[in-house]
Structure formats: C-alpha cells, structure tokens
C-alpha cells in the first residue's frame, strides 16, 4: 500500500532556494540565450529557446519537504517511479537485502533526500558508464555514489545515487560521520537518473513496481522495531 506521510511546512525554514543552486548557471545561460535571440530575431525564432529555458527552470525546482513520521519508516530518497523491488545482495555491505529502485525522469525533482535518520558510516563513489538509468544494469555499470547509513536502532540502509543516460554529475554533500535526518536534502543528480535503496531483508516493503513516489513524502518500507 502506497503511503504518503503528513508534512508540516510551518515548523522550520527550508534552507535551500526553490530553484536549486546546482542549476543557477544553466537557468541563467538558457534565459540569457532566449533573450538574445528574442531581441535580435523576434519571438517566433526565440520561442524554442524560451521553451528550453522553461524546461531547465522546472528541472531545477526544489520545493521544501519536511516530514514527520515514526522512527521505523523508510521514505523515498527521490521523486519518480518504482522500477525494481527485489531480493538482492547489497554490493556495498556484501549482505542479503531488498532492493527498491526509483527512476527519475527529466520532469521529476532531482534533489535527493535521506531515507532514514542515522549516521553515515561509509561513502563510496565509483565512476562508470551512462546507460539508460531505467535499465537495471545501470546499478552495476553507471557512475554511482553510495551512502551507508546506520539508524539509531542498528539497521543499516544503503542509498545509491546512479547517473543516467544524459546525467553527467552526481553531487553529494555528506561524508563519513555525518548525521542525517529523514527527508534531509543531501545531494542532487543533473538531468535524469535513479536512486537504489538496499533495505535489510526483514524490512516490510510498502511499494510495488510502477508506483509513483515523492522524495521524503512517500513511505517505501517499515523497519522492524529494535
């Protein structure tokens, strides 16, 4: 059952701009180009450039997501569509796990958020290819960055940012020793990608393939109480 968690935006100030800083150069360049073409050649010639500028603007939107939830809930780290739910070995911690993958298309919000409260005990970056992130082989062959997070109840969760076909930059702002909170913004991937979450095998998964999920707002699993 797909569960959307209650949010409360009045309790804290969201410390990030509504248009992500990661996109400011792209937004500025695309709008400047549209203005130049419009000024020199008119609105008809400039129309495609205005559409590109608006697309870039929407791609880098980053609305606030503040979530309150029970401590045993795992939330989606990304907006998008669930494309995989399967038992699988966690390649980062070398243990049995349940893998949940969320594919982000170019119309989704691309800031990534921590799925749980906990402490980061491992960060692993691997360069790689840029095959379509909708393909499962992207988890093994594409550029990727993995966070291993230990919750206060002792559960280990691995959250992996995976670059996609046209994604060319994974950004991660936490390191080993960082304490993260559920729904906290920790990274960004530019222009289409996926996020894989490796859960303990005893986790109760709440989503199925094809579900549309929202970062920080959709519960994807329950963890057993300590």
Per the structure block, which two tokens stand in for 222?
């329950």
The CA radius of gyration of the chain, in Å to the nearest whole number, is: 18
Residue in 30, 76, 139, 193 annotated catalytic: 193
Q: 């960055």: which residue's tokens?
A: 145
How is the beta sheet containing 111-113 ordered, strand by strand? 111-113, 185-189, 170-172
Three-point CA angle 114, 117, 121, nearest 5°: 80
Integer Cα distance of 123 and 171 in angstroms: 12
H helices, E strands: number in the chain: 3, 15
Is 124 annotated in the active site? no
Per the structure block, which two tokens stand in for 213?
């999920």
What length is written for the chain? 226
Integer Cα distance of 179 and 60 in angstroms: 26
* Catalytically active residues, by annotation: 193
């Amino acid at each position: 059952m797909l569960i959307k968690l209650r949010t409360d935006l009045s309790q804290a100030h969201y410390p990030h701009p509504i248009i992500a800083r990661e996109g400011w150069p792209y937004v500025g360049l695309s709008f400047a180009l549209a203005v130049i073409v419009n000024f020199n050649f008119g609105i008809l010639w400039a129309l495609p450039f205005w559409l590109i500028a608006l697309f870039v603007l929407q791609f880098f939107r980053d609305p606030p997501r503040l979530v309150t939830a029970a401590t045993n809930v795992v939330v989606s780290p990304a907006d998008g569509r669930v494309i995989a739910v399967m038992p699988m070995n966690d390649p980062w911690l070398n243990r049995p796990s349940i893998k949940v993958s969320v594919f982000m298309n170019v119309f989704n919000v691309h800031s990534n958020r921590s799925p749980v409260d906990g402490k980061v005990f491992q960060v692993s970056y691997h360069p790689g290819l840029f095959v379509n992130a909708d393909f499962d082989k992207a988890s093994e062959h594409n550029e990727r960055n993995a966070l291993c997070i230990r919750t206060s109840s002792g559960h280990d969760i691995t959250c992996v940012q995976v670059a996609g076909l046209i994604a060319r930059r994974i950004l991660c702002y936490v390191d080993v020793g960082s304490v993260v909170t559920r729904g906290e913004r920790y990274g960004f991937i530019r222009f289409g990608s996926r996020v894989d979450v490796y859960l303990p095998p005893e986790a109760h998964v709440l989503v199925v393939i094809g579900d549309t999920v929202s970062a920080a707002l959709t519960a994807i699993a329950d963890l057993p109480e300590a």
